[in-house]
Chains A and B, each alone.
Chain A
Amino acid sequence: MTGKTIVVTSGKGGVGKTTATANIGTGLAMRGHNVVVIDSDIGLRNLDVVMGLENRIVYDLVDIIEGRCKLNQGMIRDKHKLDLYLIPAPQTRDKDCIDPEQLRDLCHKLEEEFDYVIVDCPAGIEQGFKNAIAGAKEAIMVTTPEVSAIRDADRVIGLLEAAELHRPKLIINRVNPAMVRRGDMMDKDDIVELLAVDILGMVPVDDRLITATNQGIPVIHDPKALSGAAFSRIVARIDGEEVAMPDLEPRTGIMDKVKEIMGIKGGSYTHA
């Protein structure tokens, strides 16, 4: 079996890389794939708490790479009994303690056992970034609809291209449909045009994502969450399925009708 390594990256921190990694990994496992997610943010581990596995960590990524434990000892199984495993980052080491070749070799080894190896990349473009992308065949870029995040995404897309990771796919996270409707937030067309990349999906800003994360449960498990549904569509697209990207759904309020008639309705979407 030959799996595929995908790196989830962004440039700017705090845009939702780790949340995206947890949900993509979980979603692929829910579709019946066996998946391993790797937290490569050495010194600033986070993927474990987002997945609710922080109390089960014994060994970590560097223990595996340096041979202090066997590969299967260093992988923590997801608590929902999915075929999903986490390799956590060490908290007490720094990013220079591994090099890109070591992580690439580990990814290749994992590809023999798993359908998908998902690497959560640290923010920034230094050593940790170079480590994280080393084993990847594909890249997913996460951004928010803000000038600073998109600008950093552009820089990272250039670095990915230079590393032969062509055509990264874009996830736009924390889209506020009401603000897009009012014309106070860039929409997917603006961002896709400026970055010249393919879009993988949009995730709306969602309180349910925060309450799920509070409990250490990826929101894709929550059938009522719009953000979870958005991640399900993203996962289906990664899995090769054609899923429509709902864009602007008309609203039914009286003022919206008035605005529509006068041609100034921006429309609205609940999710995409």
Chain B
Amino acid sequence: MRDFLRWVLIHKDQTKQTARDRLRLALLKDRIDLSGGSMEALRKDVLTVLSRYMVVGNDFQEFDIHRSDDAVYLVSNIKVEELPRWASLSDMPSDPATTSKPGAWWK
């Protein structure tokens, strides 16, 4: 109802939101273009975190920023080589990050 009244009184869509959305995406894309070496640092960090939970291939098959017309995506394909066998959920450490050797606690 309110939307209808808004439409009746304003007679057109507000363009502010369009400007805002376009600007947000343009800033994202610009900042990614300029981020340079940080993608490699991110790849290493992701590998470290994943290794706390499973054994994965060192060289990610894909790890890239993809852009569509209305969003920016981080796309990755990572080969899983080994997974732990959980006896129960309680086997999982509550915070794998605190284990001294990432990836080793479940072997």
Q: Indicate which residue in A146, A154, A186, A187 contacts B27 across the interface (CB closer than 8 Å).
A: A154
* Nearest CB on B from A196, distance (A): 10
Given A186-B20, A194-B20, A194-B23, do A155 and B14 touch, yes or no (CB 8 Å)?
no
* Distance between Cα atoms of A44 and B104 in the complex (Å): 65
* Nearest CB on B from A236, distance (A): 29
Do residues A158 and B34 form an inter-chain contact, with CB atoms below 8 A? yes
Asked whether any CB of chain B lies closer than 8 Å to the CB of A31, the reply is no
Q: Indicate which residue in A154, A155, A180, A264 contacts B6 across the interface (CB closer than 8 Å).
A: A264
Do residues A147 and B16 form an inter-chain contact, with CB atoms below 8 A? no
Asked whether any CB of chain A lies closer than 8 Å to the CB of B81, the reply is no
- Size bracket, chain B contacts: 10 to 19
**Number of CB contacts from chain A to chain B under 8 A:** 52
Q: Indicate which residue in B10, B23, B30, B31 contacts A182 across the interface (CB closer than 8 Å).
A: B10
Set of chain A residues within 8 Å of B15, measured between Cβ atoms:
183-184
Which residue in chain B gives the minimum CB-CB distance to A255?
B9
Asked whether any CB of chain A lies closer than 8 Å to the CB of B107, the reply is no
Asked whether any CB of chain A lies closer than 8 Å to the CB of B2, the reply is yes
Set of chain A residues within 8 Å of B89, measured between Cβ atoms:
none
Do residues B14 and A147 form an inter-chain contact, with CB atoms below 8 A? no
* Distance between Cα atoms of A147 and B16 in the complex (Å): 10
* Nearest CB on A from B26, distance (A): 5
* Nearest CB on A from B19, distance (A): 5
Interface of A is mostly: helix
Which residue in chain A gives the minimum CB-CB distance to B34?
A158
Asked whether any CB of chain A lies closer than 8 Å to the CB of B67, the reply is no
Asked whether any CB of chain A lies closer than 8 Å to the CB of B22, the reply is yes
Interface of B is mostly: helix
* Nearest CB on B from A199, distance (A): 16
Asked whether any CB of chain A lies closer than 8 Å to the CB of B5, the reply is yes
Asked whether any CB of chain B lies closer than 8 Å to the CB of A151, the reply is yes
Set of chain B residues within 8 Å of A194, measured between Cβ atoms:
20, 23-24, 27
Do residues B6 and A150 form an inter-chain contact, with CB atoms below 8 A? no
- Size bracket, chain A contacts: 20 to 34
Set of chain A residues within 8 Å of B20, measured between Cβ atoms:
186, 190, 194
Do residues B27 and A185 form an inter-chain contact, with CB atoms below 8 A? no
Set of chain A residues within 8 Å of B22, measured between Cβ atoms:
147
Given A151-B30, A259-B9, A264-B5, do A184 and B14 touch, yes or no (CB 8 Å)?
yes
Q: Indicate which residue in A180, A183, A185, A264 contacts B2 across the interface (CB closer than 8 Å).
A: A264
Set of chain A residues within 8 Å of B27, measured between Cβ atoms:
151, 154, 194
Q: Indicate which residue in B16, B23, B24, B34 contacts A183 across the interface (CB closer than 8 Å).
A: B16
* Distance between Cα atoms of A264 and B23 in the complex (Å): 24
Q: Mark B5-41, 1 if CB is under 8 A from A, else 0.
A: 1100110001111011011101100110010000000
Set of chain A residues within 8 Å of B30, measured between Cβ atoms:
151, 154-155
User: 3 closest Cβ contacts across the A-B interface?
Assistant: A183-B14, A147-B23, A183-B16
A-B pairs with beta carbons under 8 Å apart, 10 shown: A146-B19, A147-B19, A147-B22, A151-B27, A182-B10, A182-B14, A186-B16, A194-B20, A259-B9, A263-B2
Extra contacts, 12 of them, besides A158-B34, A262-B5, A264-B6 (Cβ < 8 A), are A147-B23, A154-B27, A180-B16, A182-B14, A183-B16, A184-B15, A186-B16, A186-B19, A263-B2, A264-B2, A264-B5, A264-B9
